Amino acid sequence: MTTQEKKKGKREKEDTLSPKNVLDILPKDGDLWKEIGRAMFGVAELHNFHFMETPVIERAEFFETKQNKEFPFKKHLYIVKGKGERLALRPNYILPFLRSYIDHHLGYFASPLKVFSYGQIFSIKHSNEQEKNVSREWVFHVIGDNDPIYDVEIIHATLEVVKALKIKDASLLININGCRTCRGAYREKIKSFTGSKKGEMCSHCAHLCEKDPFAFFDCVSEKCAVVKKDAPTVLDYLCQSCNNYFKNLLELIEDNGILYELTPSLIRKSEGSNRLAFSVRSLGIELAMGGRHDYISEMAFKRQIAAVGVSFFVDRIIQAIQLQGNQILTKQKPKVFFIVVGDQAKKASVRLMHILRSSGVITMEALGKKSLKMQLKAAEKAKAPVAVLLGQKEVFEETAIIRDMDTGAQETVTFAGLVEGVKKKLKS
């Protein structure tokens, strides 16, 4: 790339009207996003997850609890000034789900409650400028039960989504994060370990680990990767309860033929997270992250509510699909392009297009383009196999011309026979 091209690219980037690290979903990617949605809804239906949506804003105090200094959300919040109360854009889905669970007594609706949703997550990034401040996530959660059988169901659902999207070489990484009884001893051990390894870590982690000894586990630098290999493992510090839980969980996973990698470095920093932690990755990209968070409800709402879930990072999933060159799209329904010439034909086309669409025929048009030539070009660009042409003469005779866009062959049908004629042409 020449210096001039680099300068041009830099100017274009600076001229964008979008906020920093925020992406649009463009029409050219629409089919891919729809296919991801189909996969998510399909898996949710098979596992009997109920769709639930919560507002994008919540009371800020839910994310700012002072009961525990390690509560993970406060420093990442986007605060919105509301009349008479402080509001925050949601930095995750689990707290809004738990708030709704309590507000609407959803434990009476289903026990446990199995829900899924999709939306935008807002989180201010401090350590990594490449991370997007606004991300899009699909989430699945089981609320109200701490049986490891639901941990396995969440893992099953996660892997089924990956399979439905035909993502290759996906790996399931699993670890246990302990509980309040055993996590404290492990934290002290890691604190001592990181203190002795400061000179071997990256500068960012060397500073951050003074306050959060678990921070370097998330680092992707080569220096910290070497240090992680020698780090003490949580498995040596588990209490009897967590040890039994993890043994039962792994037996369930192995009984179901699920392949996994035991990954001691997979440690969640949040004190709200406990026991199961897992990640699904492909090509070094983390596609989904999940685990148990039985303490978060108690920290935010002073109520103990068990929960396990997973978050799918849609932008990363699309990145992996594009890198692998996957053809994940299902067979698209054939479409017809409606072309009109003249004001009377344009008026008549509204009713005829409605009839076609009501009969299940996907109908496109470019009625703002007045010339026949421009409309035909639009039909070619849309790759429509069939076009319907309507002019003043056809309106008067109540007929329409059906054109094969590949061969140019045409036939005339009556308005009454339009649907049958179009469907017959699409099949052929």
Per-residue H/E/C for the chain: CCHHHHHHHHHHHHHCCCCCCCCCCCHHHHHHHHHHHHHHHHHHHHCCCEECCCCCEEEHHHHCCCCCCCCCCHHHCEEEECCCCEEEECCCCHHHHHHHHHHCCCCCCCCCEEEEEEEEEECCCCCCCCCCCEEEEEEEEEECCCCHHHHHHHHHHHHHHHHHCCCCCCEEEEEECCCHHHHHHHHHHHHHHHHHCHHHCCHHHHHHCCCCCCHHHHCCCHHHHHHHHCCCCHHHHCCHHHHHHHHHHHHHHHHCCCCCEECCCCCCCCCCCEEEEEEEEECCEEEEEEEECCCHHHHHHCCCCCEEEEEEEHHHHHHHHHHHCCCCCCCCCCEEEEEECCHHHHHHHHHHHHHHHHCCCEEEECCCCCCHHHHHHHHHHCCCCEEEEECHHHHHHCEEEEEECCCCCEEEEECCCHHHHHHHHHHC
Contacts of 199 (CB under 8 A, 6+ apart): 206
Question: In tens digits, what is the pLDDT along the chain, a chain of 428 residues?
Answer: 455 555 555 544 556 676 666 677 777 777 788 888 889 999 999 888 999 999 888 888 777 754 444 445 555 677 877 677 888 888 888 889 999 999 999 988 888 899 999 988 887 665 544 455 778 899 999 999 888 888 999 999 999 999 988 888 899 999 988 888 888 788 888 788 877 777 777 777 777 776 777 777 777 777 777 777 778 888 888 889 888 999 999 999 998 888 999 988 888 777 777 889 999 999 888 999 999 988 888 888 888 899 999 999 988 998 888 887 766 555 566 788 888 888 888 888 888 888 888 888 888 888 776 788 888 888 888 888 898 998 889 888 899 999 888 888 889 989 989 989 888 888 87
Packed helices 418-427 and 343-358: angle between N→C axes, nearest 10 degrees: 70
Question: What pLDDT is attached to residue 66?
Answer: 47
Residues 338 and 365 sit within 8 Å (Cβ to Cβ): yes
Question: What pLDDT is attached to residue 14?
Answer: 56
Adjacent-strand bridge partners of 38: none
Question: What pLDDT is attached to residue 129?
Answer: 46
| Other CB atoms within 10 A of residue 226 CB | 12
Rounded CA-CA distance 383/334 in Å is: 10
Question: What pLDDT is attached to residue 31?
Answer: 78
Packed helices 240-255 and 148-164: angle between N→C axes, nearest 10 degrees: 40
Adjacent-strand bridge partners of 138: 118, 312
User: Which overall architecture, per CATH, does domain 20-176+260-324 show?
Assistant: 2-Layer Sandwich (3.30)
Domain ranges of the chain: 20-176+260-324, 180-238, 335-427
Rounded CA-CA distance 5/10 in Å is: 9
Residues 261 and 173 sit within 8 Å (Cβ to Cβ): yes
Question: What pLDDT is attached to residue 288?
Answer: 93
pTM (2 decimals)?
Answer: 0.79
Residue 204 burial (CB < 10 Å; 0-12/13-18/19+)? middle
Q: Say if 20-176+260-324 and 335-427 have the same CATH topology.
A: no
Closest CA to 47 of 121, 122, 179, 149: 149
CATH top-level class for 335-427? Answer: alpha beta
